[in-house]
């Protein structure tokens, strides 16, 4: 373990940058964070209508990496508890003023594949119903028969508390989807 002492020439104290062999430390406290832990990967080898990730607990932020081929279909996402998914009008996308029954990941005319990520925050949040429980932000490339597009979207979820499951809906014919938990 080494350390670097940085002295401040103005007012205030200096700082110490060091390592304990596993993390970078600033004045003895770990810095950086944000490491990702793979929770599960779904490999699609035949046509399926949904991809599900259950048992998502222990993180306030999740990262969903999508590399899926679709058979000219919309790709949507719902949250649930133990694999029972909320289909109520509790999802608001960037473009929807009123609630919808799911988040839109890809509802463009380019419906042959989705590659990119979805960042999900506060999946299991416990709060009163007047506050958003979870949110998502996506950045995906979608592929069509003669065109490709990049989509940016975000939204909020106002339904049940304690969610630990994520469901993707569509007609998936190949590729993979991986769910990661992000530590602080």
> Would strands 113-121 and 61-70 be described as parallel, antiparallel, or unpaired?
antiparallel
In the chain, domain spans: 1-32, 36-182
**Ramachandran area for residue 27 (φ above 0: left; ψ -120 to 50: alpha; else beta):** left
> Which of the listed ranges 67-71, 125-129, 138-142 does the model predict with the highest average pLDDT?
67-71
Distance separating alpha carbons of residues 158 and 96, to the nearest angstrom: 14
Q: Please report the pLDDT score of residue 164 as a whole number.
A: 93
pTM (predicted TM-score): 0.76
Specify which residues 92 forms β-bridges with.
156
Backbone angles phi, psi at 61, to 5 degrees: -135, 140
Q: Tell me which fold the domain 36-182 belongs to.
A: Jelly Rolls (2.60.120)
Greater model confidence, 138 or 31: 138
Token reading at 41: 């990967």
**Angle 144-150-155 (CA atoms, 0-180°, nearest 5)?**
115
Per-residue pLDDT tens digits for 83-137: 999 999 988 887 666 678 888 887 666 677 788 888 888 888 776 555 567 888 7
Mean pLDDT throughout 58-63? 88
**What pLDDT does 111 receive?**
72
Query: Average pLDDT of the chain?
Result: 79
Q: CA–CA separation, 133 vs 125, rounded Å?
A: 5
């Amino acid at each position: 373990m080494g350390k670097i002492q940085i002295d401040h020439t103005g007012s205030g104290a200096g700082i110490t940058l060091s390592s304990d062999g596993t993390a970078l430390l600033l004045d003895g406290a770990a810095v950086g964070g944000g490491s990702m832990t793979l929770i599960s990967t779904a490999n699609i080898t035949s046509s399926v209508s949904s991809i599900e990730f259950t048992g998502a607990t222990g993180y306030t932020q999740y990262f969903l990496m999508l590399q899926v081929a679709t058979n000219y279909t919309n790709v949507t996402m719902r949250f649930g508890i133990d694999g029972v998914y909320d289909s109520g009008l509790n999802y608001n996308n960037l473009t929807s003023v009123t609630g919808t029954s799911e988040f839109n990941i890809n509802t463009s005319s380019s419906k042959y594949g989705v590659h990119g990520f979805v960042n999900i925050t506060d999946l299991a949040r416990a709060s009163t119903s007047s506050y958003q429980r979870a949110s998502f932000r996506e950045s995906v490339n979608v592929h069509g028969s003669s065109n490709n597009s990049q989509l940016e979207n975000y939204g909020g979820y106002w339904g049940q508390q304690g969610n630990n499951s994520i469901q993707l809906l569509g007609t998936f014919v190949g590729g993979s989807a991986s769910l990661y938990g992000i530590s602080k």
